[in-house]
């Protein structure tokens, strides 16, 4: 799935009366995919499940400092007692080790960039501990897919209702296809979330 461009997204979204004012305030990322590999991105996303951004970053930094980087081998070879002391819950340990095992068995997460959102979702949702939020975050920030609207994200919903009004429904996002990831980015900026500190998978502009 080849990305288009942020300039194309801007040209499209500036036609929307609700998003056009946001484009005057916020810079769109040139690409959602960071310089890290997909495995590292997915590990970061798992650590960020169901916790505040600040908590996620603190735990992730401790884990990265201890491991020296996310690799399947390092994740599998690190004892759970050590990971627990670094701040990981048992459920997240199980998820990370499960992902690492799948990768060592032959799953190339980076090659999923060429697959459809549906295919990627099918593969990830089969893994223990990976739900729709993690899948959506991986599609955007791990693979750089441009047309994902992660409604399960609390900060996104906060920004959505702030911009669109309390009675708006998520089907509004259909009008932002094929650039819903960029629309989500703009709404995140309006979410009153502290975006000055972010986990690995988040794009910095």
Question: Would you kindly state where each structural domain of the chain is located, as residue ranges?
Answer: 6-32+148-189, 38-142
Q: How would residue 205 be classed by pLDDT, with cut points 50, 70 and 90?
A: low
pLDDT per residue over 151-181, tens digit each?
Answer: 999 999 999 999 999 999 999 999 999 999 9
Structure tokens at 143: 């693979």
CA distance 100 to 104: 6
pLDDT of residue 2: 56
3-state secondary structure 104-143: HCCCCCHHHHHCCHHHHHHHHHCCCCCCHHHHHHHHHHHC
For CA atoms 127, 131, 132, 138, give the dihedral sign: negative
Residue 1 has pLDDT above 60, yes or no: no
CATH number for the 6-32+148-189 domain, one of 1.10.1670.40, 1.10.10.10, 2.40.30.10, 3.40.50.720? 1.10.1670.40
pLDDT tens digits, one per residue of 18-41: 999 999 999 999 999 888 899 999
**pLDDT above 60 (res 57):** yes
For the chain, give the mean pLDDT.
94
Contacts of 102 (CB under 8 A, 6+ apart): 127
Q: Do domains 6-32+148-189 and 38-142 have the same CATH topology?
A: no
Gap between the Cα atoms of 147 and 143, Å rounded: 11
SS3 content of the chain, % helix, strand, coil (to 5): 55, 0, 45
Distances (CA, A) of 6 to 3, 31, 123: 9, 7, 28
38-142 CATH choice from 1.10.340.30, 1.10.8.50, 3.40.50.1970, 3.40.50.10540: 1.10.340.30
CA distance 28 to 92: 31
CB 167 within 8 A of CB 155: no
């Amino acid at each position: 799935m080849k990305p288009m461009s942020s300039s194309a997204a801007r040209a499209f979204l500036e036609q929307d009366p609700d998003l056009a004012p946001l484009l005057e305030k916020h810079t769109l990322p040139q690409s959602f995919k960071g310089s890290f590999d997909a495995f590292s991105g997915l590990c970061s996303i798992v650590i960020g499940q169901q916790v505040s951004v600040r908590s996620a970053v603190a735990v992730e930094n401790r884990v990265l400092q201890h491991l020296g980087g996310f690799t399947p081998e390092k994740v599998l070879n690190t004892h759970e007692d050590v990971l627990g002391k670094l701040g990981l819950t048992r459920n997240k340990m199980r998820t990370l080790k499960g992902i690492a095992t799948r990768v060592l068995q032959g799953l190339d997460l980076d090659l999923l960039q060429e697959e459809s959102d549906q295919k990627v979702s099918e593969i990830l949702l089969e893994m223990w501990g990976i739900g729709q939020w993690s899948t959506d975050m991986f599609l955007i920030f791990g693979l750089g897919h441009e047309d994902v609207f992660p409604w399960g994200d609390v900060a996104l919903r906060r920004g959505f209702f702030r911009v669109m009004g309390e009675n708006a429904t998520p089907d509004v996002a259909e009008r932002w296809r094929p650039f819903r990831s960029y629309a989500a980015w703009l709404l995140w900026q309006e979410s009153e979330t502290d975006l000055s500190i972010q986990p690995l998978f988040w794009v910095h502009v």
